[in-house]
């Protein structure tokens, strides 16, 4: 059998760069559909699939360079829907396979990058997975867009009753409709566990810290464990929790952009724990890694709700405040509700 391109050479460096760049793409990428562990980048999936389906080129350096450059071009995110580039790749593959559409089987499809790219390259694709979550992701990535995503024309009436034609995408409409249904149903059932603050801000997240008791017998303070104190660390927004000691208790203030000024001698990068070695902010005592692990194993570690993340609505940015007793009360209520619900469902479903 003749060697394929990938067996002879491959632009590893360039395609790796494209793959790394892809991680920052938030719009239109399948990674935003649902999280999947170790989903392969589309750039490398596309480039390796192509390079495995075309033959190695002759020794002619010009020919070889042309293919090499095309592979890099093909791997770029921007060319995912470029008809000229994709059509050329499809044509090359078809030609290499004697005019027959090649069959690609991915027996461990996972997040679906390889089957998606093989489909894009015009192959007949078979994706296999035994994890039901991955199977659903695969259906949504590979099957449903083709089956239900074709735009069609519908007739609608305008305000004065005149009929007009409108193009809709049924998949888009249904996703919006059922997505809203899930949202509204969830709001109805658990919305009460996210009560709005007086200023209208709604809690969207809670910061918790695991805790261990300080092993210094004359201290025994509760040490909040955290690798760093950041709440937000962006170029334009740095917010952190500032710990201070009152009596034998560690308390917090929120400092940074939009809050109290961050003290000059405060380094938010330096938390209370690193590699399971914890430092008590009250007495400065050190809990070694073996003891920390033992405390967890013996169930002596606790947890503390520290801060609440709030939002005013979609795209409005996040806001932080310290957790209060009321937040904890709401959390406990939610915990009780979840337990009741779990028992009820266990009874219903067995």
**Shortest approach of Zn ion to residue 290 CB, angstroms?**
18
**Shortest approach of Zn ion to residue 302 CB, angstroms?**
15
Nearer to Zn ion, 301 or 309 (CB): 301
Residue 285 within binding range of Zn ion, rule CB under 5 A:
yes
Helix ranges (H only) for 54-143 are: 61-75, 83-96, 113-120, 132-138
Write each residue from 214 to 253 as x if it is in contact with Zn ion (CB under 5 A), else as -, in one continuous string.
Answer: x-x--x-x--------------------------------
Nearer to Zn ion, 94 or 283 (CB): 283
Distance CA 78, CA 283 (A): 56
Task: Tell me the sheet residues that pair with 279.
Answer: 286
Nearer to Zn ion, 154 or 245 (CB): 245
Residue 52 within binding range of Zn ion, rule CB under 5 A:
no
As separate numbers, helices (DSSP H) first and strands (DSSP E) second, the chain gives 11, 14
* Contacting residue, 53, 280, 287, 307, with Zn ion by CB under 5 A: 280
Whether 77 and 42 have beta carbons less than 8 Å apart is answered as yes
CA distances from residue 124 to 51, 94, 116, 127, 210 in whole angstroms, order as listed: 17, 11, 11, 10, 50
Which residues ranging from 188 to 217 are in contact with Zn ion (CB under 5 A)? 214, 216
**Shortest approach of Zn ion to residue 215 CB, angstroms?**
8
Distance CA 147, CA 112 (A): 17
**How many Cβ atoms are within 10 Å of 127's Cβ, its own excluded?**
24
Residue 275 φ then ψ, to 5°: 50, 45
Residue 282 within binding range of Zn ion, rule CB under 5 A:
yes
**Shortest approach of Zn ion to residue 216 CB, angstroms?**
5
**Shortest approach of Zn ion to residue 248 CB, angstroms?**
8
Nearest to 318 by CA among 307, 304, 326: 307
Residue 234 φ then ψ, to 5°: -125, 170
**Shortest approach of Zn ion to residue 240 CB, angstroms?**
22
Nearer to Zn ion, 79 or 216 (CB): 216
Name the DSSP class of 191.
Answer: G
**Shortest approach of Zn ion to residue 242 CB, angstroms?**
19
Residue 295 within binding range of Zn ion, rule CB under 5 A:
no
* Contacting residue, 52, 96, 135, 283, with Zn ion by CB under 5 A: 283
Q: What's the distance, Cα to Cα, between the start and end of the chain in Å? A: 56
Stretch that binds Zn ion, among 17-25, 45-53, 282-290, 342-350 (CB under 5 A): 282-290
Nearer to Zn ion, 203 or 285 (CB): 285
In total, the chain counts a number of residues equal to 350
Interface residues toward Zn ion, by CB under 5 A: 214, 216, 219, 221, 280, 282-283, 285
């Amino acid at each position: 059998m003749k060697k394929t391109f990938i067996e002879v050479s491959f632009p590893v460096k360039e395609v790796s760069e494209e793959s790394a760049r892809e991680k920052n793409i938030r719009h239109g990428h399948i990674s935003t559909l649902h999280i999947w562990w170790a989903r392969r980048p589309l750039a490398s999936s596309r480039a390796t699939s192509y390079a495995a389906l075309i033959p190695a080129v002759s020794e002619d350096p010009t020919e070889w360079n042309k293919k090499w450059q095309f592979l890099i071009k093909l791997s770029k995110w921007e060319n995912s829907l470029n008809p000229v580039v994709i059509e050329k790749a499809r044509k090359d593959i078809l030609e290499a396979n004697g005019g027959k559409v090649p069959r690609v089987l991915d027996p461990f499809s996972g997040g679906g990058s390889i089957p998606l790219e093989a489909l894009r390259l015009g192959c007949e694709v078979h994706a296999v997975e035994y994890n039901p979550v991955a199977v659903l992701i695969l259906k949504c990535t590979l099957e449903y867009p083709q089956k239900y995503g074709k735009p069609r024309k519908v007739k609608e009436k305008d305000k004065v009753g005149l009929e007009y034609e409108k193009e809709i995408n049924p998949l888009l409409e249904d996703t919006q409709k059922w997505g809203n249904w899930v949202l509204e149903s969830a709001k109805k059932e658990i919305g009460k566990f996210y009560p709005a603050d007086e200023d209208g801000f709604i809690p969207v997240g809670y910061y918790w810290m695991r805790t261990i008791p300080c092993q210094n017998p004359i201290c025994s303070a509760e040490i909040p464990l955290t690798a760093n104190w950041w709440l937000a660390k962006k170029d334009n927004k740095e917010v952190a929790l500032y710990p201070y000691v009152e009596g034998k208790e560690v308390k917090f203030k929120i400092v940074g952009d939009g809050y109290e000024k961050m003290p000059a001698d405060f380094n938010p990068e330096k938390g209370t724990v690193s590699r399971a070695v914890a430092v008590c902010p009250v007495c400065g005592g050190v809990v070694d890694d073996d003891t920390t692990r033992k405390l967890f194993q013996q169930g002596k570690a606790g947890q503390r709700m520290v801060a609440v993340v709030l939002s005013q609505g979609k795209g409005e940015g996040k806001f932080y405040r310290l957790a209060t007793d009321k937040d904890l009360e709401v959390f406990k209520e939610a915990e009780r509700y979840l337990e009741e619900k779990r028992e009820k469902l266990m009874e219903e479903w067995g």
